Amino acid sequence: MNSPASKPAILIIDDEPELLRVLGLILRDAGYQVHQAIDGKEGVRDSLRLKPDLIILDLMLPDISGAEVTQQIRKTSQTPILMLSSNESSTEKVKTLDAGADDFITKPFDPDELLARIRATLRRHTPSRDDDTIAIGDVCLVRSLKRLQIGDKEILLTKTEFAMLDLFARNQGKLLSHERILREIWGPQADSRREYLRVYISNLRKKMTVPGYRIPNIQTRSSIGYRLTLE
């Protein structure tokens, strides 16, 4: 990992030289160090060797799939991975998210949006698994007491809502697929809840709406999943 004083390093894994070139210029202009890899295997090697702060990964590579690259990187590193996707089918995106990727951005993308995503991802603090208290903005989650506090107000949540918020908070800023949320909250009975997942999320959003505080919101990425973010 690069020291905070130095420029953050970004590794781009993409087989299209022109996109690599333009993205490299844009990211360098924005003050990042840029490394490039032209296929999945080289990307996995470089991610181990260079230890970048963030990886931009094209989903469709000539040698191995994006999901496989993510899986291999996740064996040794928790570096945030931002997918570049061009297809509309959600299967590959969900597979890569479940393998450990953090978010995706669809081609063609607005470079400003890409830079905003990169900044948000790099800013993100990922709480360790053992943290009992997770604070995001003015929201404080005490896991041992199963308590949610916004400012000095305590919000009553149901068991499911708390489990869901806890899952989001532990993966703050990360896009979680429907499948993963269902699996982690309901386990084997998940399928019967699929239809109502949106209702639980909507209730949670309503309960967390307290005016005058800095509160993270739960963003929807249609047909893929949800993400908790302070943006």
Partner 1 sequence: MKTTNSAEALGTKLLRLLTGNEQPSRYPLQQCFEKDFRNRFGNIFANTGKAIAIMATTTLFCWLGKDVLKPEACCLVFLGVTVLFGALMPPPAPFLLAALGLVSWNYFFTPPAYELSIRTSDELVLHILFVLIAAVMNSLTANLRQRERASRLNEQTSTLLRNCQEALSQGDVDACLRLINAATGAQTAIRPKAQVVEGWLIVCTPLSSHDTPATFLCLEFKTPAIITARGKEILQSLAHLISAYFERRRFIAEAEKAHTANVSEKIGRALLDNVTHEIKTPAAFMLASLHRIRSRDDGRHENEIRGIAEGAHRLVRLTEELTLMSSVRTQMLQPRVEHCNASELAREIIQEDVRPTHAAILDLITRSPEACVRTDPHLAGIILGNLISNACRHSPADCRVKLTVERRNDEVVFSVSDRGNGVSIADLPHVFDRFYRGANPGSLGLGLSISREIAGIIGAKLTVSETPGGGATFQMALPLTEPYLEHEDALS
Binding footprint of partner 1 on the chain (CB under 8 A)? 16, 18-19, 21-23, 25-26, 29, 60, 84, 86-90, 92, 107-112, 146-147, 156-160, 162, 194-200, 202-203, 219-223
CB of 126 to partner 1, least distance (A): 25
Classify the C-alpha dihedral 70-73-75-79 as positive or negative.
negative
Q: Is 206 exposed, middle or buried (0-12, 13-18, 19+ CB in 10 A)?
A: exposed
Nearer to partner 1, 50 or 60 (CB): 60
By three-state DSSP, how is residue 83 classified?
A: strand
Q: Is 6 exposed, middle or buried (0-12, 13-18, 19+ CB in 10 A)?
A: exposed
CB of 164 to partner 1, least distance (A): 12
Query: Exposure string (b/e) for 136-150, b if CB count within 10 Å is 16 or more?
Result: bebbbbebeeeebbb
CB of 153 to partner 1, least distance (A): 14
Nearer to partner 1, 26 or 135 (CB): 26
**How do beta strands 139-142 and 147-150 pair?**
antiparallel
The tokens for 79 are: 């570096």
Nearer to partner 1, 152 or 195 (CB): 195
CB of 204 to partner 1, least distance (A): 11
Q: Of 19, 10, 21, whose CA–CA distance to 43 is shortest?
A: 10
Nearer to partner 1, 196 or 213 (CB): 196
CB of 103 to partner 1, least distance (A): 14
**How do beta strands 81-85 and 54-58 pair?**
parallel
Nearer to partner 1, 112 or 132 (CB): 112
